[in-house]
Structure 1
Amino acid sequence: MFTLHIDPHLGRMALGAVLPTTIRAWRRKLLDGGTPEPQAVKAYALLRAVFNTAIREDEIIRQNPCRIPGYDRYHTPERPAATVAQVFALAGAMPSRFRALIVTAALSGLRWGEWPRCDLDLEAGIVRVARKLAVLNGRVEFGPPKSAAGVRVMALPAAAVNALTEHMAEFVGVSPESLVFTGSKGQLLR
């Protein structure tokens, strides 16, 4: 963040020479140059932290030039959500291997790589989410969720249970570690 968004524009300036007007011009240059607003907000937050350190710990400057209201937030537009009818229409248009994936993801909010067969209990209508599938250095591997809150048990709606029951019978191996959703050759989805 610093190397890409801050240093090229402000890195040669003395801390005391940076004013709120400098910060406004810097931010405008970032946004006009194609930097997405969330990245500009993160760069601003980092720069503000640098200046706070210069004030509190090092006593290099007396006031932080990063005190511009609104620069530390960005507006995230609400994403449109599909209706239930649209979800089922999309699922119906997909190859049969992916229909349950569409229905389950849309109705539960679960990611396809969060659970193998052993974590799914269709009789109880639940899925235990105890791990996530991640791509690390080009390898795909299971690991723990990002936080303790990521480990959870989720109830599945009846429509997802029905779709998964059909899917499991046709596409999922009998091993407890078999992934519920795979590609046509049985490999991980990417």
Structure 2
Amino acid sequence: MQASYTGLDGKRYNAPHTFDNRTDARGWLSIQQAALTQGEWSPVEAARSAGRSKARTDSLGEFAQEWLRTRVNRHGEGLRPRTRVEYERLLSGALSPLTGERLAMITPEAVRAWYSSQMEGGNKTQTARAYGLLKSILATAVQDGRIVTNPCMIRGAQNASTGKKVEPPTSAELQKILDTITPRYKAAVLLAAWAATRFGELTELRRKDIKIVKSGRDVDAIVVDVARAVTHTTGVGFTVGPTKSAAGVRSIALPPHIHADILVHLRDNVGDFPDSLLFPASDGSTHLAESTFVKHWYPARAAAKRSDMPFHALRHYGATRFAQTGATLKEIQERLGHSTVSAAMRYQHSAGRDIELAKRMSALAEM
């Protein structure tokens, strides 16, 4: 037999369990009534009691779907499409042995057994991501009163990795890639290497994002304004949104030795229309898919005998070269768009200093 009552907040609260007879149900209701009349009733505790009851029947998979629907970041924004797809992939993949379990039955021992099994499979990075997701979901379950404590207690599990280090290209390898890559993508490689842009930032760049600073006929500086990024999600398509973090919105001065190549690309492949993409798909108007770009990237890196190198390694190259100019840690963080500095520090950015450091980068290109 079930029992429920209306709290002082006007909401309906169910008993945490069913009763064998009407007398027991009425006894429980009498206790709740006494708490209400004596001012000892708490909506928080009542919700926790109801949540613990729900945890007896709700599975991790059911609660995870509710979590995906309601999850927001610190800015109050819901999950981005690509993030949601990645979480669903982990739930249907690495976390599938646990999704059918009731929340109340997921113990620290069960989590450790699952984690050990996944690590034995050799997927260290994916296991770390899956563990981090599981920990976040169950932390919400604790807040909602579905479970008392979070069973994810494995120290360092969220930070496990394969230990593989991304090796940026040498100057000679980068030059070979530039000599080999399909000409219309040469500027893309240059921007990734010398401005350290992420692929999603690079492929959303438009003509209006390129500022050319002149004195007379001479080009003093070319500055790239990164303000957006594009992601591609299977079943959703391309989504233009904010950069990876607030720190990702930034202005990047290009080193002078690549000015000529960028200007040629703008003239021959982009034109003057402000919203024209710098690196569109073959139709000239839609975004360039990574799956399309790699058809040009793979042969170029193979020519440089670096078939192991992901495109993201060019960002590492740019970061390393910029650091070698003598840039401060704060300047490096600002140029790369890392979120490890506060938003206030980003506004202290000096365009003049960035241009000066960019000029030093050209000298390194000749080394």
TM bucket, shorter chain: 0.7 to 0.9
Q: Quote how far apart the aligned CAs of 1:28 are.
A: 2.4
CA distance in 2, matches of 1:90, 1:156: 19
Q: TM-score, normalised by structure 1?
A: 0.76
Who is 1:90 aligned against? Answer: 177
| Alignment match of 2:250 (pick from 152, 171, 180) | 152
Q: Deviations over 1:12-71 (max 9, x none)?
A: 478478354x4333212223456x32332233344445666777875966x765433332
Who is 2:288 aligned against? Answer: 189
Q: How does 1:113-152 map to 2 (within 5 A)?
A: 113-123=203-213, 124-135=221-232, 137-152=235-250
Who is 2:116 aligned against? Answer: 28
CA distance in 2, matches of 1:60, 1:185: 53
Change (3 A) 1:84 1:15: same
Does the aligned pair in 2 maintain the 1:107–1:157 contact within 8 Å? yes
AA of the residue aligned to 1:126: V
Q: Are positions 1:69 and 2:155 aligned together?
A: yes
CA distance in 2, matches of 1:189, 1:14: 42
Choose 48-57 or 176-185, whichever is displaced more: 48-57
AA of the residue aligned to 2:230: L
Q: Provide the alpha-carbon RMSD of the alignment.
A: 3.2
How many residue pairs end up in the alignment?
Answer: 187
Structure showing the higher helix proportion among its residues: 2
Structure 1 residue runs of 5 or longer lacking an equivalent are: none
Does the aligned pair in 2 maintain the 1:97–1:171 contact within 8 Å? yes
Does the aligned pair in 1 maintain the 2:230–2:238 contact within 8 Å? yes
Structure 2 residue runs of 5 or longer lacking an equivalent are: 1-89, 214-220, 290-367
Does the aligned pair in 1 maintain the 2:128–2:157 contact within 8 Å? yes
* Identity rate, percent: 30
Bigger radius of gyration among the two: 2
CA distance in 1, matches of 2:142, 2:231: 40
Does the aligned pair in 2 maintain the 1:114–1:131 contact within 8 Å? yes
Q: TM-score, normalised by structure 2?
A: 0.43
Who is 1:99 aligned against? Answer: 186
Does the aligned pair in 1 maintain the 2:103–2:147 contact within 8 Å? no
Change (3 A) 1:185 1:78: same
